[in-house]
């Protein structure tokens, strides 16, 4: 952590630029940077116009990393700096408070209260932009908590003050176009499909020349039309969307098109085509290292549904277990996700002929749908479901369910509605974070070596360590350091040194599997996680890498000699703290260097060691 802060400050103080003069200038410059395409944004930040020797300049520089850096520590300011910001530039102090609240681990209710407090302060001071920024984060938080009625009220209260903007990109504001899309999302979740469709049209008409907006808008329309059972219009929209996706050539859009096509064929009672489109979407999604849990969850939900319709209980159960294994998020948990799970489990048991067990799940399902007292607004008001299932079927008792197959009608309708809702949740999330994901994908790579950077690699390993299972789960984490690398820089220059680093990283990247993690830790040091590996496996893999390096001709890079490395390896077989794991790796690396270099020292993780090296 301390190393990260030091790095940030060094980056701040070493920047040389022509500085803007006033807060208004800074605001305009930041807006321009946030509007940059991902591939141009880093360059824009490297030549930033903010005077980081001042508190305001430093804040504007840090705040230009919106959605690229999601660790609150990155945005940290000293107490004296915060006091200066609050006294001299209170508008930007509260702008920062919104961001820090959004990034915090506060309970939902405390977040809501904090956002509303800032809204009130902004209104009292006529800071419309800050009020909008707080409102946008409050709405997003409410939607994540499935409090859509509350979200609609917040949007309705602000919509008459929302600014017009015809520019895409990140923003510390709440534009009319953003409200249109979030209004669609909440109205859809509240089953007001006509209202949702109206806001889809508004959103699409807002930027008719922006192909991304048009794809988003048509996806939005298809989502609603599926729920309205207007399948001919859905088919027509899919054809239009297909042409746009071809011209845009965006992977995310292709996956979304396949996903919506799968949903369409579900409604057309074509489980064979449902399966093919959903499987193609999943394969494309995983091939490109996408990691949005709701997207994978929705695809596995569709695949489960396809196998249920094809009467294949084993495959349906396989995909259901895959769906359950998806990392939980606010979009994959909650009442509707429970309903989806119960529906699938009940139908699988029915296909297996285990009717008594199935009846138990049907009872739970009906209770979850209609008698859940603490359900949130959107689930108490599931009028779409209520209209689709007649009163006689709703009131079936356990005895009637055991004697009649009418419950299959209930399950079929419920399964259709809940799966569609899952798909829509995925698509809504997709749009809300698409640009954020693009920036994260760009920011996760080290600019020199093009492998994962320190922060993304560590965050990924940290997440894996937290989800370690109790039995038969293991991995190895290693810190790898190139031996005598300083000599290469001294003898042949930093440009050659950089070429050697890039060459080493490229060789390593292709020796490890997709489920492994390899990134640049800093300088000539790299961090590695080998999933499912023992100490012996790690040592074997590293030795194989040494053999490859020994045959490399460095003269093509402008250097001479052999490329060698030392490594400190820790085997982990239980949940562990990333700080302790890396601390022990660092100790083993030091020992490997001390013992003569070009070797590994491996050991099991010892939880009692508490050293902090981050």
CATH number at residue 593: 3.30.70.270
Name residue 572's beta-bridge partners.
475
At 52 the pLDDT is: 84
Answer whether residue 584 is part of any domain.
Answer: yes
Q: pLDDT under 50 in the chain at which residues?
A: 1-3, 5-7, 9-18, 291, 371-419, 428-442, 610-614
At 571 the pLDDT is: 95
Name residue 119's beta-bridge partners.
none
Q: What is the pLDDT of residues 424-449, one digit of tens each?
A: 555 544 444 444 444 444 457 777 88
Query: What is the rounded distance in angstroms from the CA atom of residue 423 to the CA atom of residue 103?
Result: 26
Answer whether residue 517 is part of any domain.
Answer: yes
- What φ, ψ does residue 478 adopt, rounded to 5°? -135, 145
Asked if residues 74 and 103 have their Cβ atoms less than 8 Å apart, the reply is: no
Answer whether residue 496 is part of any domain.
Answer: yes
Report the SS3 class of residue 93: helix
Dihedral Cα 411, 416, 421, 422, nearest 10 deg = 90
- 579 is in which domain, residue-wise? 454-604
CA distances from 446 to 97, 368, 451, 500, 519 (A): 29, 47, 6, 15, 8
At 480 the pLDDT is: 96
At 73 the pLDDT is: 82
Answer whether residue 471 is part of any domain.
Answer: yes
Positive or negative, the CA dihedral 96, 99, 101, 103 is negative
Closest CA to 202 of 164, 240, 229, 235: 164
At 417 the pLDDT is: 46
Answer whether residue 503 is part of any domain.
Answer: yes
Helix or strand (DSSP H, E) at 36: none
Pinpoint the alpha helices (H) of 105-158: 108-124, 128-144, 148-158
At 41 the pLDDT is: 63
- Cα of first residue to Cα of last residue in the chain, in angstroms, is 5
Answer whether residue 54 is part of any domain.
Answer: no
Q: How many domains does the chain have?
A: 1
Asked if residues 90 and 125 have their Cβ atoms less than 8 Å apart, the reply is: yes
Query: What is the rounded distance in angstroms from the CA atom of residue 542 to the CA atom of residue 535?
Result: 11
Report the SS3 class of residue 525: strand
Can you state the angle between helices 55-63 and 2-14, rounded to 10 degrees? 110
At 37 the pLDDT is: 59
CA distances from 612 to 3, 106, 480, 484, 609 (A): 11, 25, 18, 26, 9
């Amino acid at each position: 952590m301390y190393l990260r802060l030091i790095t940030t400050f060094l980056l701040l103080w070493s920047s040389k630029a022509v500085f803007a003069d006033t807060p208004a200038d800074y605001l305009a410059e930041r807006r321009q940077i946030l509007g940059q395409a991902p591939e141009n944004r880093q360059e824009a930040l490297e030549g930033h116009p903010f005077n980081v020797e001042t508190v305001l300049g430093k804040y504007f520089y840090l705040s230009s990393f919106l959605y690229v850096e999601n660790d609150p520590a990155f945005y940290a300011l000293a107490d004296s700096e915060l006091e200066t910001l609050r006294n001299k530039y209170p508008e930007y102090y509260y702008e920062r408070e919104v961001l820090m609240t959004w990034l915090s681990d506060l309970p939902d209710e405390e977040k809501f209260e904090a956002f509303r407090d800032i809204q009130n302060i902004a209104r009292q001071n006529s800071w419309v932009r800050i009020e909008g920024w707080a409102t946008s984060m409050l709405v997003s938080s409410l939607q994540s908590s499935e409090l859509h009625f509350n979200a609609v009220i917040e949007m309705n209260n602000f919509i008459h003050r929302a600014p017009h903007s015809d520019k895409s990109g990140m923003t510390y504001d709440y534009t009319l176009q953003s409200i249109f899309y979030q209004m669609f999302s909440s109205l859809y979740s509240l089953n007001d499909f006509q209202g949702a469709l109206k806001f889809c049209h508004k959103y699409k008409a807002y930027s008719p020349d922006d192909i991304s907006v048009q794809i988003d808008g048509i996806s939005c329309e298809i989502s609603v039309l599926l729920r309205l059972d207007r399948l001919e219009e859905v088919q027509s929209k899919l054809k239009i969307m297909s042409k746009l996706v071809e011209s845009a050539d965006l992977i995310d859009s292709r996956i979304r098109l396949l996903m919506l096509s799968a949903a369409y064929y579900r409604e057309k009672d074509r489980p064979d085509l449902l399966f093919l489109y959903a499987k193609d979407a999943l394969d494309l999604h995983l091939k490109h290292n996408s990691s949005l849990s709701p997207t994978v969850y929705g695809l596995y939900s569709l695949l489960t549904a396809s196998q249920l319709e094809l009467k294949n209980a084993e495959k349906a159960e396989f995909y259901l277990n895959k769906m359950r294994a998806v990392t939980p998020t606010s979009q994959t948990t909650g009442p509707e996700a429970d309903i989806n799970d119960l529906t699938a489990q009940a139908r699988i048991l029915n296909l297996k002929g285990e009717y008594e067990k199935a009846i138990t799940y049907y009872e739970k399902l009906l209770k979850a749908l209609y008698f859940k007292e603490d359900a949130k607004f959107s689930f108490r008001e599931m009028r779409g479901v209520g209209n689709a299932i007649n009163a006689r079927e709703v009131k079936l008792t356990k005895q009637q369910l055991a004697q009649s197959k009418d419950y299959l009608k209930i399950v079929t309708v419920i399964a259709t509605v809940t799966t569609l809702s899952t798909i829509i949740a995925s698509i809504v999330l997709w749009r809300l974070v698409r640009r954020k994901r693009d920036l994260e994908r760009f920011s996760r790579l080290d600019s020199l070596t093009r492998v994962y950077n320190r922060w993304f690699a560590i965050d990924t390993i940290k997440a894996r360590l937290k989800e370690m299972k109790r039995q038969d789960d293991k991995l190895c984490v290693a810190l790898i350091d190139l031996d005598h690398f300083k000599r290469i820089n001294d003898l042949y220059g930093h440009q050659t040194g950089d070429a050697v680093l890039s060459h080493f990283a490229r060789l390593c990247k292709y020796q490890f599997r997709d489920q492994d993690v390899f990134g640049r830790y800093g300088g000539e040091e790299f961090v590695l996680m080998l999933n499912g590996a023992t100490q012996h496996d790690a040592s074997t893999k590293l030795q194989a890498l040494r053999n490859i390096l020994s045959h490399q001709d460095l003269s093509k890079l402008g250097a001479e000699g052999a490329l060698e490395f030392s490594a400190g390896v820790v085997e982990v077989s239980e949940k562990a703290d990333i700080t302790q794991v890396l601390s022990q790796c660092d100790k083993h690396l030091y020992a490997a260097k001390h013992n003569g270099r070009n070797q590994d020292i491996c050991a099991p993780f010892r939880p009692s060691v508490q050293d902090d090296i981050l």
